[in-house]
Structure formats: C-alpha cells, structure tokens
C-alpha cells in the first residue's frame, strides 16, 4: 500500500507497514491529532469522497474534496494558451477528475506553494503524462516520496509560461511560493497565494510560521514576503480555500496587511 496521512493528506512510498509518524505533521507548523497518527490510502479515499469543481473566472477552476479531507485546501486549474497548470494539490484523484481535466486539455505542469499541499502530487503527474512538478529547492527535505517528475528550482522567480510566474517568498516555509497570473482578473493580474499569503476573514492577508499553532513570523520574514510580490501588478488574490479570495485592490491590501502585522509585533516607537 501507499499510505496517506489522514491529518495532512501526504502520500508516502509503497510499504507493507505504515510509517510510525508523518514528519510533516510532527513539525511545529502542523500537528498530530490527539487521536494519534492515522493513515488511509487513495483507494479508500475514492470510496468515501469525491471532488467538486467551481469556476472562479474564465480559465480558473477550483477543485476541492468533499467531504473535506485533511487540511481542506482546494487546488486551482489554470488554463492558458500554452497549456494548463495545476496550482497546489489535493490528495484525492479519481476517474471523474481525470476525465474532466483531460477534456480541458490535461496538464502541462504542477506547481505547489509549500509542503502541506504536496499530497499525492506524483499520482497527479503520472496520470497526466508525467507532468513536471515544480517545487522550490529550499523545501526539498519535505518531499516524502521522491520521483523523476519533480523539478526543483531555486531562483527568486521562475516563468512557467508567458505571463505565468512562480515567485519565491519564503515565510511559512523556506521555499514558500506564490504564482502570478498576469492575464487574470480581466488583465489586472492575479496572485494564487496558497497560505503563504493567507487571506483572512476581514479581507486582508496575514503571514504565519504556523497557522494551527499560532506561531508568528518575525518581521524580517514578513518584509521578505511582501517585498517579493511588490514588483508584480495584481488586483485579485485566490487563497487556499474555496471562499478565501480578495477580488479587488489586492496589491494595496497586501502592503497594508504587512504594515498591520509589523505594527502588531514590533515594539512601539
């Protein structure tokens, strides 16, 4: 079997016995539930869950599992004239999902913001012709299941296709990455942010080392994240969950959010 961690959704290599623990959940940025470490498999997940789809705007489709599984994020299918890209990943890959994405042109590549969303990335890649998986090299140690499809990059930016750019931000993880889509939001620009830039309920964003354990980022890291995206033009942000998005004025909101965060953690002048 290939065990999948029930808490974070990460798939591990083929084994006759599940690992004792999941290193991603043992890390301070995640957690092992009080019930203890538990495992499932893709086959079991297919029997109890399904994927739902939501069109956000032309050429951008959300894909998320119901009932909610593990961390509960949803992926985004970005369609471009140069091929389709999957942003972030979810554990469940079933026949219906493969058929729908194949009908829309398949995948040219997969890009993932940080290790909490690596999930079953190799399964997705294999089904879509060994589509390359773009991961920042600073997070190499968190890959639980190595594969030839994984392509590590370590530059400040990586262009996947014209107008589709990965931006290294750091923050939540050393390799924390967001994706800039220049033609999104009717040409005003979009950021796909995962939770490197976490869209908050009040319509701002926040920056954390650990969200579930409420461990903040230091000022230098927050400034680095805000600085990495500052040169890009964007008006909209899609976060990691169905309803976490900022529809307008996102570039100003990110700058204001960084100021709010820094004002809360730095000593008063």
Note the pLDDT of residue 142.
98
Q: Chain centroid to CA 93: how far? A: 16
b/e map 181-199, b = 16+ CB within 10 Å: bbbbbeebbbbbbbbbbbb
With CA atoms as reference, report the closest residue to 88 among 254, 242, 252, 246.
242
- Res 269: pLDDT: 61
Give the residue ranges of DSSP H helices in 154-249: 184-187, 219-229
Confidence of residue 232 (pLDDT cuts 50, 70, 90): very high
As a whole number, mean pLDDT of residues 242-259 equals: 97
Q: Report the percentage of the chain scoring pLDDT > 90.
A: 97
Domain carrying residue 94: 4-265
Confidence check: pLDDT of 268 > 90: no
Within the chain, how many helices (H) and strands (E) appear?
7, 19
Percent of the chain with pLDDT over 70: 100
CA distances from 190 to 32, 142, 182 (A): 34, 27, 6
pLDDT digits (tens, 9 = 90+) for 127-153: 999 999 999 999 999 999 999 999 999
> What is the number of structural domains in the chain?
1
**pLDDT per residue over 85-134, tens digit each?**
999 999 999 999 999 999 999 999 999 999 999 999 999 999 999 999 99
Instruction: Read off the pLDDT of residues 35-84 as tens digits, 9 standing for 90 and up.
Output: 999 999 999 999 999 999 999 999 999 999 999 999 999 999 999 999 99
Q: For the chain, how big is the Rg over CA atoms in Å?
A: 18
Asked if 4 and 120 count as a contact pair (C-beta separation under 8 A), the reply is: yes
Would you call 202 exposed, middle or buried from its count of C-beta atoms within 10 A (0-12, 13-18, 19+)? exposed
* Strand, coil or helix: 234: coil
Those residues with Cβ within 8 angstroms of residue 60's Cβ, 6 or more apart along the chain or in another chain: 76, 77, 78, 79, 181, 184, 190, 238
Q: What is the CATH number of the domain that holds 90?
A: 3.60.15.10
Q: Which tens digits make up the pLDDT trace of 173-218?
A: 999 999 999 999 999 999 999 999 999 999 999 999 999 999 999 9
Q: Please, which pLDDT band fits residue 267 given cuts at 50, 70 and 90?
A: confident
């Amino acid at each position: 079997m290939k065990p999948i961690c029930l808490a974070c959704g990460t798939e591990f290599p083929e084994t006759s016995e599940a690992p004792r623990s999941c290193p991603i959940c043992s890390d301070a940025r995640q957690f092992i539930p009080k019930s203890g470490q538990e495992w499932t498999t893709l086959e079991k997940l297919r029997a109890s869950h399904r994927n739902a789809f939501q069109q956000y705007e032309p050429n951008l489709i959300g894909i998320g599992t119901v009932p909610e599984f593990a961390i509960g994020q949803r992926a985004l299918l970005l369609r471009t004239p140069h091929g389709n890209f999957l942003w972030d990943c979810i554990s469940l890959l079933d026949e219906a999902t493969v058929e729908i994405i194949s009908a829309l042109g398949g995948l040219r590549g997969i890009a993932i913001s940080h290790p909490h969303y690596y999930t079953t990335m190799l399964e997705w890649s294999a089904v879509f012709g060994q589509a390359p998986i773009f991961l920042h090299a600073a997070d190499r140690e968190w890959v639980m299941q190595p594969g030839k499809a994984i392509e590590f990059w370590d530059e400040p930016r990586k262009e996947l296709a014209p107008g589709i750019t990965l931006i290294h931000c750091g923050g939540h993880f050393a390799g924390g990455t967001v994706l800039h889509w220049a033609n999104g939001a009717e040409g005003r620009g979009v950021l796909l942010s995962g939770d490197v830039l976490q869209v908050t309920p009040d319509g701002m964003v926040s920056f954390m080392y650990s969200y579930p354990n409420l461990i903040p980022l230091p000022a230098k890291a927050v400034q680095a994240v805000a600085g990495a995206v500052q040169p890009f033009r964007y008006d909209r942000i899609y976060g990691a969950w169905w309803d976490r998005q900022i529809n307008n004025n996102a570039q100003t909101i990110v700058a204001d959010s960084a100021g709010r965060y820094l004002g809360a953690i730095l000593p008063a002048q």
